[in-house]
Structures are given as structure tokens and as C-alpha cells.
Amino acid sequence: MLQTVQNAGFFILLLGVLVTVHELGHFLVAKACGVKVLKFSIGFGPKLMGFTRGETEYQIALLPLGGFVKMAGDLPHEELSPEEASRGFLAQPPWKRGLIVLAGPAFNLIFPVLIYFFVYLGPHQATSTLVGNVNPGMPAVAAGIRPGDRVLAVDGVEVRTFDDMRDAFVGRFERPVPVVVDRDGKQLTLQVTPVKHVESSPIDTVERGQIGVEPVSRPALVGVPRGSVAEQTGLRTFDRVLSVNGVGIKDEARLHQAVNKHPEGTPLQLTVRRLDPVQAGAVTGRVPQVLQFTVPKQAGEGMAALGAEGVDLYLATVAPGSAAQKAGIQPGDRVVSINGEPLLSFHQLATKLNAMKEQPFTLSWRGAGGERTEKLAQAPLETVDRTGTPTKAVALGVLNWGLTAADSPVLDEVTVHLGPGAAFKEAALIVPKIVGQMVKVIGGLFVGKVPLNTVGGPIMMYQLAGKSAEQGLDSFLHLMAIISINLGVMNLLPIPVLDGFHLLSAAWEGIRRRPIPVRVREVANMVGLALLIMLMLLAVSNDVMR
């Protein structure tokens, strides 16, 4: 109950601020243009509280789903006193009416700059460029980048956070790129040739170079081939090594250190954690148990010294109905090669699949019945995102082992401090990007590139307000900025009832020297109202389905 009340409070706060910003734009510019403002209302319906100052009544109404600014003479044939006639809205020249109408959406687009300014201002924590893991077979390995290196610059561009480093590789691929790293206090310049990776969404496509480094170190999870010493000892794929001969093992790097100092044949006392699946109705959970094993050290390093191998290429999940399941791939199987090329990491597989889209390919994998090779093709696979919205993307339908909360290491973070100038620059750069993405989304809805089931309404906003508030002030402010931009862009659409149509009307009159014909306006009003009702019904329907 308390959670519901809190979510409702955040929802009202979110809408209340954004409505106030929008209507404040109309109000301030109307006042500046000499138009008489009769009422400034936040919300619709019965008045909850209010006061009158000067010639304007200010009020908060019961329903927080909007607001309005009532100006004198904003309706045709409205009777005004002689002293008010010149101060009526419709009596103003078109350029003034256009400014007043434009001010609402403009304030919604300017307000996020202010929000992001305060989000970016001052110190905040971000994931550093410390390399936690290097994916086998990726360019970083060939270049000599190691776990524990800290990336300082990419192609002459200084980077401090992992996001900075990812952004530095946008447009940089398939050519040598100098990367400066700090290793044990010494700076090294390494030449890396990133592979091309295309990130596509309904609103954007980004071509980015990938070198195969991750900010997280990997836990010591074992992959157990059939007939191996590890299997004979009793180890299973996805067991996590907790200690070797009493030495705690935090990640794969510590495992290498612990086993490499012992000669071949030395008994290694292993403590491992195993997650056994437990069925509870329709939900499958995992119960941990701690086990002890003794393995004679084998030839090789790391996992090979245990008679095992890395777990990366072992599949933990095969999506029901996916192309992988239809081909007979099962959880616990290990992928071996694609199009005859041996695979060194799951990341390598994902990169190749990303480039292939729905193009057929040959995949080899090893399972209970031995090794198999089949010709496959990725296909659209329906998934559900965190908001409950079903989405479809071309995929094979397999995942390797995902980190549990207990497995997830603490990321190395760096404190980034931005002064007022830098914070304003970042805010001024990010808002136009989001506006551009929002315009693409709206255009995609009309041409069918963006699914209609992504449209959300008040229930979705209510849920997002509560979730973002739980994640912290920055997350809540980010949501507020996104919705403010959404309101600003949507209100500029030339649809009757919205500000965009009134702006179009003012522009028409300013250019043609006469208003839009009454019949055209009446038809436009009916069509626009029908569109808005359909959009509202779609949004509410999607909310209910979620």
C-alpha cells in the first residue's frame, strides 16, 4: 500500500512539473506580448486550491493529467470590453500568436537542458576504463591488451569512463587504432584493429568498432568436456571455484595465479559452488550447495590445469520456439564453430551473428550425443523488455551463463567532476540527440517501422515514475527529461487541439494574409480529434495488456 502511494506521488510530481513548465511557457510569453491572461491552471476539473493576483487566477485542479492557460479573446466571437479588445489573443498579429503557441513546446524542450545540467554538474561515479576481461579471439588479444590494463586514450581522444571508450570507437573500425593503456604504472601504446559492429534499433543505427574488452572480471566458472579429468572428478559445467588449496578465488585471474604455482600432478583441493535447479510451479529457481573435490593438476594453465576449460562457449539458455531450439540445441551444449571457423568466445559468435542477420550459416556444437553440424538461420524472436513490452528481434535464441548477483564483481569506478561550463555543454549536446531520436520514433510509428505496441499511456508513465524513483534521483530526472522532450515534440505535430496546429494556423495567416478557411479547419478538427482518440485508446490498451 505504501509503495502504491509513493508511486502515485512520484507520478503526480512528474506530471505536475512537466505541465507547469509547458503552461508557464504559454503564460510568460502571453504576458510579454500584452495578452490578458485570465486563468493559469495546473490540472483539469474542480479546483482544489488557488488564488488571484492581479488580473489572473492561479489554481491547482483535481485531475493532474494536463493544464491550461485561459487567455482573453482566445475563442472566436468572444465578447470583450472595449479596453480588453486589443489585449485578446485572437486580436494579436500572427507572429505574436505564433510565439505564444510555440512557447509551451519550446519550454518542454529547453527544460531538459536545465535538468541534465544539474545531473552532470559536480562529481558523479562512472565505470572506469579498467579492463576486467579480454574476450578470446577479439582484436584486444592480438594487440596485447590484458586484464588489469587501464585505457587512457583511443586514437588521441582521452577517455576516463568505459562509456567514453565505447563512444571513441564509433566510426573507428577495420583499421589500426592507437590505444594508450596504463600497465603497472607505465604507459604503453598498442595498435588495435577493431571489428565492425552494427547496433540497430527502430530509431537509430550505429556503426561502432569493437575490440573485445569488458569492465567486469569473470568468476571462475568451469566448462566440463565429456570424458575429461574434470568430469571424472565430479565437476559439472557452470560450477564456480571458490577456493584452491584454501586460497580464495575471486575471479579467473586469481584462479590462474593459484594453480600455476603448483607443479603438475599436485593434488588440488577445490571448493566449488553448484546451483541446482529447483522447480516451484511454473518457476525454476536455483539452490546453491558447496562441494569439495580433489583434482590432480593437469598440464596447462588456469582451467586446463583442472582438466576443464572456460565456460564461455557453453550455452545456459535456449529460448523456446527459437531457431536454436528447433535445430536441437540444448542448455549445456557447447558451440564449436561457425561456417567452419573455430569459435574462441561467445562474444565472437554474437558479433558474427549480428552481421549475418537472417543469412543462413553452418553451426557446429557439442552435446550429449556428440558433435553435430547443421545449417541454420536466425529468425525473429519475441522477447519482453523490462516495461513488459513485447519486442521482436532477429536472433538465434541462445545465451551463455549470465552472472548472478553473487557472481557479479564490484566494478571499478572513477569520479568524474564537471564544472558549470562542461555540464552545460554535455546537457546542450544530449538534448538535441534525444529530440532527433524522438522524431524518428514518431515518424517510425506512422510508417510502421516502430511497433504500435511500444506506445504507452498514463499507466506506463505511472510504472516508470515509480521504478525510476527507486533507482535514484538521477534516474527520475532522466525520465522527466525524456517525457518533457516527448511532450514538446508531440505538441509540435500539426494536429488540431495540439499547439502545432495553432502554430501552423498563425504561419498560414502570416503568409497568406487570411486565416485558414472555416470548412478546412472544421474538417481538420474532426480528423485530428479522431486521431487523438485513437492514440489514447491505443496507449491505454497497451498499458492494460502490459
How far is it, in rounded angstroms, from Cα 353 to Cα 361?
9
Which contacts of 517-522 are long-range, i.e. CB under 8 A and separated by 24 or more positions? 521/496
Region of residue 41 (phi > 0: left; psi between -120 and 50: alpha; otherwise: beta): beta
Q: Do residues 418 and 120 touch, judged by C-beta distance below 8 A? A: yes
How far is it, in rounded angstroms, from Cα 164 to Cα 157?
9
23 belongs to the catalytic site? yes
Amino acid (1-letter code) at residue 329: I
How far is it, in rounded angstroms, from Cα 460 to Cα 519?
38
How many angstroms from the chain centroid is the CA of residue 357? 22
How many angstroms from the chain centroid is the CA of residue 301? 38
Return the percent helix, strand and coil in the chain, to nearest 5. Answer: 40, 30, 30
How far is it, in rounded angstroms, from Cα 292 to Cα 244?
10
For the chain, what is the total number of helices (H) and then of strands (E)? 14, 26
CB neighbour list of residue 90: distance below 8 Å, 6 or more residues apart: 73, 74, 75, 76, 78, 97
Q: Which of 23, 79, 252, 374 is catalytic?
A: 23
Active site residues: 23
